[in-house]
Chain A
Amino acid sequence: MTGIAYTPGRRWKKPPLITSPLLRWSLGLGIAVYLALALGTTEIDWGRVAEGIPRGLRFITGFFPPDFVTRWDEIFQGISESLWMTVISTVVGIALSIPIGLGAARNLAPRPVYYFCRAVLAVSRSFQEIIIAIFCVKLFGFGPFAGFVTLSFATIGFYGKLLAEDIEDMDPVQAEAVRATGAGWFQWLNYAVQPQVLPRMIGLGLYRLDINFRESAVVGIVGAGGIGATLNTAFDRYEFESAAAILLIIIAIVMAVEYTSSFVRKWVQ
């Protein structure tokens, strides 16, 4: 027993996430100050909220039972319009994002091209689909074409950025090996770069398909076609049963796409 010194009063403590105590405390303090400021300046009209709760309950009960029948023709048309829009905008968006993604990869592109492509990606990613949709509706008129342009543009930002990052992370040894065989630039792209990024890119393409479908449900609100237009009309006419049906259909389709894409991704990898 004499070999072990007993140190009283020291209990084991959990190691904190941020090790530097100064950073930890200043971060905590900063968050507290920010929260106080933010909550202090946010105007919340509690009276209006309290008034809204029974209204909200009525609103929710208005959703039941979901009515699939009365507006079925419009719903069906809206959904199918959304589906085509999704498919073509995903295909076109990905096709356009490949050259931009290649240009935005630091290890492939010369500097000016790199900066230009990065700027395109940044612009496309900064704006919500809705803002782009407002402009596209102004330029191309109402209807699914505007929605198609919007979603394609948004796809470029998402897919191009991830493609560029994936190319930047690729294994340079393989690329070097193919180049050493005397391959031309396109051959090099085809045999060295493409096989390394393809599996992940297929998965991401399916993911983008899923996102585009969800977004197609909102671009309709500003007049760019698809199920969003139908949904907006249903809300405007206070036909909450139809709105509930539309929301349920959207959820079901998203779930179906998600399951399929996770299955395909497993199969690809």
Chain B
Amino acid sequence: MIWAGYLTVGMIFVYCWNLVSETTIWMFVWDAHNQAVDLGERMVPPKWDYMSKLWWPIWDTLNIATLGTVLALIMAVPVAFFAARNTTPSTVILRPIALFIIVASRSINSLIWALMLVTILGPGVFAGIIAIGLRSIGFCAKLLYEAIEEIDEQQVEAIRATGASGPQILVYGVVPQILPAFAGISVFRWDINIRESTVLGLVGAGGIGLQLNASITNLAWTQVSLILLVIIATVVLSEWVSAKVRHAII
């Protein structure tokens, strides 16, 4: 049984590999190491003076990630309550709609969202914020509704027994139980969004990606390497912050 599994995976792999190699120009691939060395030589040393022009885009990138996360959380909360089996007002209509929103938002990458939003809203930070927001609804709502479904029903029952109304049950019975999960999810998503917002500029939606794109098209590789270093630093820092906060919460 296990060997049959391995065999099928192996066969699929070989088949797919053949398909890919048919469409590949191998000459370019064998040439890649020369290209890599060449590129590497052109990228060092990073052009440190360029840093003075990068502070503003970094601030924009942070704003896109943070405001986008806030926006996503605001929209994700109702969706999550509609999607959770134990809090949804109607399983027939609202729950499937909420689940569809979650899947749709998750399956379309933020870059594609940004591509569409730049056409609608014009290039700039605002399109980036909305793109990050729309993209994150699915992730936040999914984790949140799973948290809601896992709550302890007894506490809800206890609140209900005091004669609380529907909204009161939510506020006093459900919300305190999911609040830590909510905080954890938001910080986690914020961390992911920092990483995503670094590339939104490639399609014109603001942030440091704009500088990256400009530097690549100008073949200013020393600037590119500096930007890449800045991105690594930002991401590592945000990951550290998010890990610390989540550690403090849980």
Contacts and interface: CB of A to CB of B under 8 A. Distances in A.
A241 interface: no
Contacts of B129: 42
Contact of A17 (B106, B107, B183): B183
B119 to A, nearest CB: 6
Contacts of A84: 16, 19-20
Among A59, A88, A123, the one with the most B-chain Cβ atoms within 10 Å of its Cβ is: A88
Contacts of A59: 116, 119-120
Contacts of B203: 221
A258 B20 contact: no
A148 B20 contact: yes
A38 B35 contact: no
Contacts, number: 147
B17 A88 contact: yes
B13 interface: yes
A167 interface: no
Main secondary structure of the interface of B (DSSP, over half): helix
A44 to B, nearest CB: 5
Contact of B32 (A34, A45, A139): A139
A250 B112 CA distance: 12
B214 interface: no
Nearest to B248: A18
B63 interface: yes
A214 B109 contact: yes
B236 A126 contact: yes
Interface in A117-147: 122-123, 125-128, 130-131, 134-135, 138-141, 143-145
A144 B24 contact: yes
Interface string B103-114: 110111101100
A44 B126 contact: yes
A251 B104 contact: yes
A215 to B, nearest CB: 7
B29 A52 contact: no
A100 interface: no
B121 interface: yes
A181 interface: no
Contacts of B23: 81, 143-145, 225
Among A140, A215, A222, the one with the most B-chain Cβ atoms within 10 Å of its Cβ is: A140
A214 B107 contact: yes
A48 B20 contact: no
B223 interface: no
B12 A87 contact: yes
A10 to B, nearest CB: 18
A163 interface: no
B122 A255 contact: no
B140 interface: no
A34 B228 CA distance: 26
Given A48-B122, A139-B39, A141-B25, A235 B107 contact: no
A217 interface: yes
Given A14-B172, A85-B20, A88-B16, 16 more contacts: A14-B176, A44-B124, A52-B120, A59-B116, A83-B16, A123-B232, A126-B235, A130-B111, A130-B199, A139-B35, A139-B36, A143-B23, A145-B21, A221-B203, A251-B103, A255-B107
Interface of B: 9, 12-13, 16-17, 19-21, 23-25, 28-29, 32, 35-36, 39, 59-60, 62-63, 66-67, 70, 103-104, 106-109, 111-112, 115-116, 119-122, 124-126, 129, 172, 176, 179-180, 183, 195-196, 198-199, 202-203, 212, 216, 228, 231-232, 235-236
**What 10 A-B pairs come out closest when comparing CB atoms?**
A141-B28, A56-B120, A254-B107, A84-B16, A145-B24, A126-B235, A48-B122, A128-B199, A139-B32, A218-B109
